Amino acid sequence: MEGIKGIGKRVVNGANMKVGIVRTQWNKEIVQALFDGAYKQLLQDSVNPNDIRVISVGGCYEVPFAVQSMILTDKPDVVIAIGCLIKGETMHFEYISDAVTSGLMKINLTLGVPVVNGILECLTEKQAIVRCGLEGGHNHGLDWADTAIEMAIIKKN
């Protein structure tokens, strides 16, 4: 049985959509699982693998710049930003979370290309592991892929 939280099963058609993915290298195992989930779902949504462009950056702080660059050079229909921030003992988590979220929203609204915020912001490693599906939890990358196609369709219509 599916949980009450979340969007639920959706059917979207991503044929002829150009999708960009910007992913981080930090928290590699978690990000890889999220990326794999998103990529697999894009293929299930009929996106051609040749229409998926992937850029890898160091950490989450670099994501907004890479997303903006991708939009300006590659002209995708939508971009998914994938990364994971896990709170440590300092305020670094809060500063990076706020900067990345604000940066992605600004790009989303000013450049007119949908950007899906797939940056997990977790208080513990356990929360991140559950949200990427490594230990039986739901892989949020699947939802981000469907959301990306839905947003690209809205943009095109």
Give the active site residue among 10, 75, 92, 155.
Answer: 92
The residues near 154 (Cβ < 8 Å, ≥ 6 apart) are: 114
* Separation of first and last alpha carbons in the chain: 34
d(CA 111, CA 130): 33
Q: Is 92 among the residues known to form the active site? A: yes
Residues annotated as catalytic are: 92
